[in-house]
Amino acid sequence: MSSTGGVSTGVRQLRLALLGPLQGWRGGIPLELGPVRGQALLAALLLRPGVTASRQQLLDGVWGTEQPGTGAKVIPVYVHRLRRCLDGPGDGPAESVIVTDRGGYRFVPRDVWVDAARLAEFAAEASSARGRGDLDTAVDAWSKALELFRGEPLAGIPGPFAQGERLRLTEYRLALLQDKLGCELRLGRHAAAVGELFALTEAHPYHEALAALLIRALYVGNRQADALDVYAKARRRLVRDQGAEPGPELRQTHEAVLRRDDALLFGTAARQQPRPAPAQPPAGRRDRPQRPVRNELPVGVGNFTGRDRELALLGASAADPDGVTVRAVDGMAGVGKTALVVHAARTVHQRYPDGCLFVDLHGYREDRGAPGPQRVLRRLLRAVGADEGEDSEDLDELAASWRTATAALRLLLVLDDAAGAEQVRPLLPAGPGSMLLVTSRQRLTGLDVDRRISLAPLDLDDAVGLLSRIVGGSGSPHEHGAIRRLAGLCDQLPLALRIAGARLQNRPLWAWESLAARLADDERRLGELSVEDRSVEAAFQLSYDQLPAVEQRAFRALGLSPTVELDALTLAAMLDWTRPDAERVLGSLVDASLVQQVAADRYRLHDLVAVYARRVAAGFPGEVAAVRDGVFRLYVSAARRSSDWGPSAFPTGPAPGTAPFADWEEATNWLDAVGGELVDVVGHAVDVGKLDEACWITEGLFDYLTRQGRFHECRTALETVLPLVTAVTDRRMVSELRTCMGMMYGLQGRYEQAHPLLTEALEISRRAGDLLEQARALGNLGTFANLQGRVAESMEFFAEVAGIVGKLDDEWLTAVVTATVGDMHHQLGEHERAYECYTEAIVLAERVDSPRLLGKTLLRLGCLQLDRGRPLDAAGTLHRAADLAIRLADVPLYATVLGRLGTAAACLGNVAQAAEFSSRARGVLSGRTGGTSEMVRSEMIRTRLVWNNVAAEDLAGSREFFERSVALPDAAPNRARISHFLDDIRRQRQWDGTDF
């Protein structure tokens, strides 16, 4: 086969393929094409068939700016190797596929098969066939062309020329796919095209032509709603990521789908599958006397905005044209259910030649009760001109009469504001092709429907558009900003937007800003959203009044949540319920459209609903106090259970036995789900006068937040409670929170700010006689003195800590001191003593189930093993520490362990693995720090092996610290004294009855 497409059967035929990894064969036997630079040179010649390339062109194309020292002299060497590989036995220079020409080289196709050349031939054949209208042949040729691709073109081939050609061929393949799929749609093969187009649009999310093709394919398959959804997602992605609206082709395709304009979508001469025709009137209808056709649909609301996807779902053709289509819309009060359904009904009413009927079921009306089903059925029978059975009071008889009367009709029936499914079932028409649209605040799960839409408030842009059209105005940037703020304060709820808009029509800008200021006040917001007989609060009250008492109580409690989102456990804690009971009630409130379920076991109230819930709850002061006690007790329990400070670390506050979390992991996962709202919980506790709880939560969260590198949140919480700490009942907090703030500054390398706080905390705890708080303050003073090189002073602090530990009988604290003493021995080069301390601390950490302390001590032991020349042992120890760091989501610990694993790998001779570990350590740090200044400051201590083990980025950083610390002026003359100090501490621990 030649490069131009002819078939050759010779056994010496040469075949070269570039549309994937570069490969070659002669007579079916693979060729060894040599080094990648030689392959890059071959590609540069193959893709210029018959064109001479100079040596400099080839040099620049293959090596770019990193050219060899020999310059262009290297080109003939590579050409010689390629000729030996590609030319047949006995071929001389004249028969070679690479010829020398005017100081350059040229590829001569001769009898060579090249896939890139064949690709061009297939593409030309396809274009020609399409031009003459032979779409089947065109699709076949494009398919053959696309089959030539075996992956990424020129995969692994270096150099600027290969990179440029790789991009060109990849784009060319995409263009061929577009052409093929476009023809398949014109042939009516939409089902085959849809799957491929979905995959392509995922791989190329900003490719508007592919999105337009997918929309056309879905539309042809009677999937109008899905087609509109594709446009909506594509537009959101373009606006969010690129800051641009879709181009003309995509916009026109969207508009054509909305208008059902097949000619615009496919062209008048396009071959496509026939779209379903409207169902014919049932036989027998022509035998009945003619009656006036009724259209009872209400007048549509003005300025209807948005809801394209929902309108498409409601207006889509029925899957079964011989059945009755039922579509239900549910949502909270004021969300625009009636407006949506009426708008959709007006769009499709021409499909229903026997009339469009509308019934308001008054499921949620204060001024009038819901009509009974008998009354509604009699009215419907009169509407279709059926008198038989109208006078009956029996519901079953009336329902049977209604089914008989509608059996030969094709009706559109709209039932608005249903209280429940039982109110709707008797009203279903029986005529083939009929449709029922029903709205309710309840999710009508007891009603069989083919489409169910749970309506949410408008997105912000649509809300701004609706409010702008209502109020008018000049459209100035200042006005637009005011309208956008108002739309947000109205929670984008259509009822609230229309009320606010009505109040602002023909009013000056200052009136808009004044209303926005009043709406920003929760106490006034609902009162401001009221005009004549329309009120957001009244609409919410109707939904609340119809709830059972137990659900009303839960709804009031949800309004008191300190976070926007919450789970069933939070509600259970608020009301002293079991979790299953809370889940059951939350499900009922979701069905009642008063609560939104945003994820599995995550719920929230819309902003205006939350304001209403708080207002209702204010009428139950005793209940409010109990709810707040329950929710803050839950957060105290979660924060303390997630901490690694040991079981006796929190001697005041709620008893640990009341915690609903089985272990630290369960508590940590629960806090993870709360996310960035933890600081808000502390602020809310302060706002409602729960100062002790605010302090306990802040103290408990310290370990959780700092191990994840969330220093800003930790500082914010501490700064919230510290100014108020003198007013708390729990006096331990006065020293403890100062210790926490000092620890936080120390972790960030800000020792000058840490020292006075820790000193003050020590003085306060000494006056109070609180040994535990003294040990904490002393331990941190010792840690940070050590980090600053004041080793002797650090020893004095830890000697005092050791004396306190014996009096407390606290195994966790004992493990901490033991590990720290091991650090000091390690720094002094006393490795045997350090090893004894570390192994003892590991045993204690395992005994008290303290995973973070265990992980940090394993890290210390691994570093010691490295210093003792045992990298294999160190690697095993450090991998255990890494597993714990991952479970804990402890960013500093994990980064440090990765760095030391890199050292172990380097010592074992695995340089590549060492580099990988080092790179991963830097990635972990950069991924969490976000480049903030405080984390940059903390790099000062990340380069050392320290009490808190914040990560060392250079592989030898810890060792360097050991050497520096014992060489400091403070350390050298006191080395023997320090060693004696450590021995004294060990003896003191033995005298106190602890096996050190």
How much is the pLDDT for 632? Answer: 95
**Phi then psi dihedrals of residue 454, to 5 deg:** -100, 110
How much is the pLDDT for 954? Answer: 32
How much is the pLDDT for 742? Answer: 96
pLDDT at residue 635 is higher than 70: yes
Closest CA to 116 of 240, 23, 35, 254: 23
What is the amino acid identity at position 437?
Answer: L
pLDDT at residue 927 is higher than 60: no
pLDDT at residue 562 is higher than 90: yes
How much is the pLDDT for 131? Answer: 81
How much is the pLDDT for 371? Answer: 77
Closest CA to 420 of 548, 591, 537: 591
pLDDT at residue 683 is higher than 70: yes
pLDDT at residue 321 is higher than 80: no
pLDDT at residue 883 is higher than 60: yes
pLDDT at residue 908 is higher than 50: yes
Q: Which of 54-58, 316-320, 378-382, 583-587 reaches the highest mean pLDDT?
A: 583-587
pLDDT-derived band at 8 (thresholds 50, 70, 90) equals: very low
pLDDT-derived band at 319 (thresholds 50, 70, 90) equals: low
Q: What is the mean pLDDT of residues 971-985?
A: 46
pLDDT-derived band at 12 (thresholds 50, 70, 90) equals: low
pLDDT at residue 419 is higher than 50: yes
pLDDT at residue 476 is higher than 80: no
Other beta carbons within 10 angstroms of residue 722's beta carbon come to: 18
How much is the pLDDT for 957? Answer: 37
Higher pLDDT, 192 or 36: 36
pLDDT-derived band at 358 (thresholds 50, 70, 90) equals: very high
Burial of 334 (0-12, 13-18, 19+ CB in 10 A): buried
User: What is the per-residue pLDDT across 565-594, written as a single tens digit (0 to 9) for each?
Assistant: 999 999 999 999 999 999 999 999 998 889
Q: In three state form, how does the secondary structure of 214-254 look?
A: HHHHHHHCCCHHHHHHHHHHHHHHHHHHHCCCCCHHHHHHH
Higher pLDDT, 730 or 57: 730
DSSP string across 857-890: HHHHHHHHHHHTT-HHHHHHHHHHHHHHHHHHT-
Helix ranges restricted to H, 48-111: 55-63, 74-86
pLDDT at residue 272 is higher than 50: no
How much is the pLDDT for 284? Answer: 40
pLDDT at residue 929 is higher than 50: no
Closest CA to 865 of 887, 843, 847, 881: 881
pLDDT at residue 325 is higher than 80: yes
How much is the pLDDT for 368? Answer: 58
How much is the pLDDT for 964? Answer: 38
Pick the CATH number of 804-991 from 1.25.40.10, 3.40.140.10, 1.10.10.10, 3.40.30.10: 1.25.40.10
pLDDT at residue 273 is higher than 90: no
Q: In what order do the strands lie in the sheet with 451-455?
A: 356-360, 412-418, 435-440, 325-331, 451-455
Q: Provide the whole-model pTM.
A: 0.62
User: What is the per-residue pLDDT across 185-215, written as a single tens digit (0 to 9) for each?
Assistant: 888 777 777 778 888 888 888 888 888 888 8
Q: What is the mean pLDDT of residues 423-442?
A: 91
pLDDT at residue 663 is higher than 70: yes
The domain defined by 293-455 folds into: Rossmann fold (3.40.50)
User: What is the per-residue pLDDT across 780-793, written as a single tens digit (0 to 9) for each?
Assistant: 998 898 888 887 78
pLDDT-derived band at 967 (thresholds 50, 70, 90) equals: very low
Please answer whether residues 659 and 599 qualify as being in contact, where contact means their C-beta atoms are separated by less than 8 angstroms: no
In DSSP terms, 99 is beta-bridged to: 106
In DSSP terms, 437 is beta-bridged to: 327, 414
pLDDT at residue 933 is higher than 80: no
Q: Which of 279-283, 794-798, 894-898 reaches the highest mean pLDDT?
A: 894-898
pLDDT at residue 78 is higher than 60: yes
Higher pLDDT, 656 or 744: 744
Separation between Cα atoms, residue 409 and residue 260, nearest integer Å: 26
Q: In three state form, how does the secondary structure of 9-48 look?
A: CCCCCEEEECCCCCEEEECCEECCCCCHHHHHHHHHHHCC
How much is the pLDDT for 578? Answer: 93
For 82, 317, 321, 989, the CA distances from 435, given in Å and listed in that order, are 73, 10, 10, 84
pLDDT at residue 387 is higher than 70: no
Q: What is the mean pLDDT of residues 498-509?
A: 77
What is the amino acid identity at position 239?
Answer: V
Report the residue count for the chain.
Answer: 996
- Residues of the chain with pLDDT > 70, as a percent, come to 85
Q: What is the mean pLDDT of residues 663-680?
A: 90
Just give the CATH number of 191-266. 1.25.40.10
Mean pLDDT (the chain) is 81
Q: What is the mean pLDDT of residues 660-667?
A: 87
How much is the pLDDT for 951? Answer: 30
Just give the CATH number of 14-172. 1.10.10.10
How much is the pLDDT for 938? Answer: 36
pLDDT at residue 44 is higher than 80: yes
How much is the pLDDT for 926? Answer: 61
Identify the weakest region by mean pLDDT among 106-115, 309-318, 358-367, 472-481. Answer: 472-481
How much is the pLDDT for 660? Answer: 86
pLDDT at residue 774 is higher than 90: yes
For 408, 433, 435, the CA distances from 319, given in Å and listed in that order, are 20, 10, 12
pLDDT at residue 980 is higher than 80: no
How much is the pLDDT for 252? Answer: 82
How much is the pLDDT for 238? Answer: 76
pLDDT-derived band at 475 (thresholds 50, 70, 90) equals: low
pLDDT at residue 497 is higher than 70: yes
Identify the weakest region by mean pLDDT among 267-271, 722-726, 951-955. Answer: 951-955
- Residues of the chain with pLDDT > 90, as a percent, come to 28
Helix ranges restricted to H, 243-386: 248-259, 262-266, 308-315, 337-348, 373-383
